[in-house]
Amino acid sequence: MARLRAVVDEVTNVYNMGATAFCLFADGDRSREAWPLGDALFQVAARAVNNDRAGRQQSIRELAAQWQAAW
């Protein structure tokens, strides 16, 4: 959820990358049923779009490492 005057930082970029993954691979649907790439990659993408910033990967590097490990 966007907030007025919120800082755009690396954690915001992690969210954007996760949202992009759902758009590319599941037509924007964030449900497990719509996700075609398996549970491990779903868990990585779902964590990236966590509403709680602290629950997301804290860097693009961390997101990429988890994505590669799940691949």
pLDDT band at 1; cut points 50, 70, 90: low
- Tens-place pLDDT, residues 8-65: 899 999 999 999 999 999 999 999 999 999 999 999 999 999 999 999 999 999 999 9
The pLDDT score that the predictor gives to residue 13 is 97
* CA 23 – CA 3 distance, rounded (Å): 22
pLDDT band at 3; cut points 50, 70, 90: confident
The pLDDT score that the predictor gives to residue 59 is 98
Helix, strand, or coil (residue 13): helix
The pLDDT score that the predictor gives to residue 2 is 67
